[in-house]
Structure 1
Amino acid sequence: MQSAFRVRRAHQWIGLVIGVQALLWMISGLYMAVVPLEVIHGDHLAHLPAQPLAPAPGRLPQARLHERYPGITSIRMKNLLGRDVYEIRQGAQASLVDAGSGDRISPLERDDIVALADAAYAGEGSIRGVEWVTRAPREVGARPVPLWAVHYDEAGRTTLYFSPHTGDLVARRHELWRWFDFLWMFHIMDYEEREDVNNTLLRVASATGLVFALSGVWLLFYSIGRRRRA
């Protein structure tokens, strides 16, 4: 009888402590189950169309690129707004070079980014602002700055982030993604970086929840046994 009283009391207190977090787990889990991941990623909002590369005899040979830009570690050919360019990397630094003249054309200017955004955006809004970002907001994570941010005037408050060095669309952000990120913070209990799924707080909460469940099972069988004896 004394042990049952202690288990019941512990079960009640643990329930008070873990109940709020369990509710947050269920709410965030429901959101993740209802909203498809491709919607969260914003795949329906923007995509860069693949433009085939046709043979062009006027392209600068890659050997000339190595002479002109020492220390190249990789070269990639691509089409940028109907223009053939080389994307070269010199260590961690990336830049775009005109495939014909060999002139460096990055970092890209605002008008180039607006043209890229118009080509990529698949939503129904219009551009309400273009921002040069030198301090990365939380929603782009560890992506290197600077970035161009193109903001759209629509219900989802879509923002497309482009690299000025490569012209790549590096992130799509909208309200459903921001809600996901907010709920993900509570789901994994990482209230700073929102990335560590093995943090101590989550482990403690999970272990406490397990104790709560086991104590509830013990009390259930104890109650059944008492009723049978009675």
Structure 2
Amino acid sequence: MPMLRLSTQLHKWIALVVGVQVLFWVAGGLVMTAIPIETVRSEHHVREAAPAALPAVLLRALPDAAGTMAGGVARAELKSTPRGPAWVLTPVRGEPVALAADTGRPFPALTPAEAARLAAQAYTGEGRPVSAVHLSEAPAETGRTGPIWRVEFSDREQTAFYLSPETGEVVTRRSAVWRFYDFFWRLHVMDWKHGEDFNHPLIIVTTILTLSIVVTGFILLWIRLSRDIRLAHAARRKP
């Protein structure tokens, strides 16, 4: 039958082309459903910190702090940080700047010992800090730019806390679990370099081809079932 032959050929060759990616989709889906996202984000290693009250007198330091920003301030936020209250000033152009709220000046540079101490305060788990390194440029896995501190712990998941070099806040967390998850995520979305774009032409075309496999599979199933039913009826009518 021409229809059966055509459907069989399309099904076979398209499956051969996209079969490996379908395997990656299934494997990636399994990983993403089997590992809780809280574990991937190392949220189980985050110590809950009680919010600290901010003295109202610090509001008076805003004009002095804002006066240091060339071009003007678009936004000002007063918040509590591990190194004390801070004004986070967002200029009209450029990146936000964190200043000590009591002085209106930049925080002193973090030392490795202080970075390790602040990371340990924010961490809960069986590990301990084993290294504290200042990086002039944040690794790609953090999704950030600029300088950053990385503090690694001795737990089984190889957890690393990334800290702001100004305020000492934990801005993101990574671990071997996250990297394992990220590997399968990149395979899943077919963005092997960045793992961010899941609307690119390659994945759209592959999805269309995979859909055609399903459609031709149903056609093959319908044709073969119809043929088997006819053969069964013919067999019953024979004397």
How high is the TM-score relative to the length of structure 1?
0.88
Contact 1:49 1:119 in 2 (8 A): no
Hey, what does 1:52 align to over in structure 2? Answer: 52
Hey, what does 2:121 align to over in structure 1? Answer: 119
Q: Determine whether 1:39 maps to 2:35.
A: no
CA deviation vs aligned residue, 1:65-120 (integer Å, no higher than 9, x gap): 33455533333223334633333333433333333333321543433322220211
Share of identical aligned residues, percent? 30
Number of residues paired by the alignment?
229
SS in 1 for 2:85: strand
Hey, what does 1:190 align to over in structure 2? Answer: 191
Distance 1:30 1:228, change over 3 A: same
CA deviation vs aligned residue, 1:29-51 (integer Å, no higher than 9, x gap): 01111212222121111246243
Hey, what does 2:237 align to over in structure 1? Answer: none
Report the CA distance between 1:140 and its aligned residue.
1.2
Q: Write the distance in 1 (CA, Å) between the matches of 2:196 and 2:100.
A: 38
Unaligned runs of 5+ in 1: none
SS in 1 for 2:44: coil
Over the residues paired in the alignment, what is the CA RMSD in angstroms? 2.3
Hey, what does 1:148 align to over in structure 2? Answer: 149
SS in 2 for 1:10: helix
Q: Write the distance in 1 (CA, Å) between the matches of 2:227 and 2:28.
A: 39
Hey, what does 1:22 align to over in structure 2? Answer: 22
Hey, what does 2:226 align to over in structure 1? Answer: 225
Q: Write the distance in 2 (CA, Å) between the matches of 1:186 and 1:69.
A: 44
Q: Write the distance in 1 (CA, Å) between the matches of 2:50 and 2:75.
A: 21
Q: Write the distance in 1 (CA, Å) between the matches of 2:51 and 2:35.
A: 31
Q: Write the distance in 2 (CA, Å) between the matches of 1:61 and 1:25.
A: 54
Q: Write the distance in 1 (CA, Å) between the matches of 2:212 and 2:86.
A: 60
Q: Write the distance in 2 (CA, Å) between the matches of 1:140 and 1:79.
A: 23
Q: Write the distance in 2 (CA, Å) between the matches of 1:92 and 1:109.
A: 26
Q: Determine whether 1:92 maps to 2:65.
A: no
Moved more, 161-170 or 51-60: 51-60
CA deviation vs aligned residue, 1:180-210 (integer Å, no higher than 9, x gap): 1000011111111111111111111111111
Contact 1:96 1:106 in 2 (8 A): no
Q: Determine whether 1:165 maps to 2:194.
A: no
Contact 1:46 1:172 in 2 (8 A): no
Moved more, 73-82 or 205-214: 73-82
Contact 1:163 1:170 in 2 (8 A): yes
Distance 1:55 1:166, change over 3 A: closer
Hey, what does 1:129 align to over in structure 2? Answer: 131
State which structure, 1 or 2, has the greater radius of gyration over its C-alpha atoms.
2
Contact 1:88 1:96 in 2 (8 A): yes
How high is the TM-score relative to the length of structure 2?
0.85
Q: Write the distance in 1 (CA, Å) between the matches of 2:176 and 2:2.
A: 53
Contact 2:116 2:131 in 1 (8 A): no
Runs of 4+ in structure 1 off by over 6 angstroms are: none
Q: Write the distance in 1 (CA, Å) between the matches of 2:196 and 2:180.
A: 15
SS in 1 for 2:45: coil
Distance 1:87 1:47, change over 3 A: farther
SS in 1 for 2:130: strand
